[in-house]
Amino acid sequence: MKTFNTVLLAATALVAVSGCSKKRPQTLPPAPLDPNAGTGQTTTTTETSEGALVPGSDADFRRSVSSNTVNFGLDQYDIDSAARAILDSQAEWLAKFPNKRITLEGHCDERGTREYNLALGDRRANAAKNYLVARGVDAGRISTISYGKERPVALGSDDESYAQNRRAVTIVVS
């Protein structure tokens, strides 16, 4: 009987311990669709064999609009006159290609908590989305994602770098 109790106790302990698992490590958001997004470089997948850009591609979008990036002030997500001009040119391009979908990425500088920056990045992406929708772009064509401070474009810890990282980036996905 003593052996049975020992085996039963060991089996119970084994089941209890095996049910515990380590906490999954936090993972970064998925990689951007285009590693050259926001750099002004074109990719070979959006070029024809003659080197011309494919109409409606992300590279064509970046070449055709005044910018694929809207910058924001510190702790702000309002659309100023410079942002309106950029988003107006994007709305015009999207009107030419009504079957194209875009993703608006919201980004922040490194200051602030992760949670705060994710929320602020979301507000920035949605502010740009709402402006484009007001300009006639179908809301169903636009998805948003916030990367917070996880994907800086400038790696410095100075005001110039911070200003470059406070942005919303438009990416053509299909």
pLDDT at residue 166, as a whole number: 96
DSSP line for 135-149: TT--GGGEEEEEEET
Do the Cβ atoms of 106 and 149 come closer than 8 Å?
no
Longest dimension (CA), the chain: 84
Query: What is the pLDDT, as a whole number, of residue 164?
Result: 96
User: pLDDT tens string for the chain (174 positions)?
Assistant: 777 777 767 767 666 655 555 555 555 555 555 545 544 444 445 555 556 788 889 999 999 999 999 999 999 999 999 999 999 999 999 999 999 999 999 999 999 999 999 999 999 999 999 999 999 999 999 999 999 999 999 998 999 999 999 999 999 998
Domains, the chain: 34-172 (3.30.1330.60)
- Asked whether the whole model's pTM tops 0.75, one would answer no
Query: Cα separation of 25 and 144, whole Å?
Result: 24
What is residue 48's predicted lDDT score, i.e. its pLDDT? 56
pLDDT value of residue 174: 85
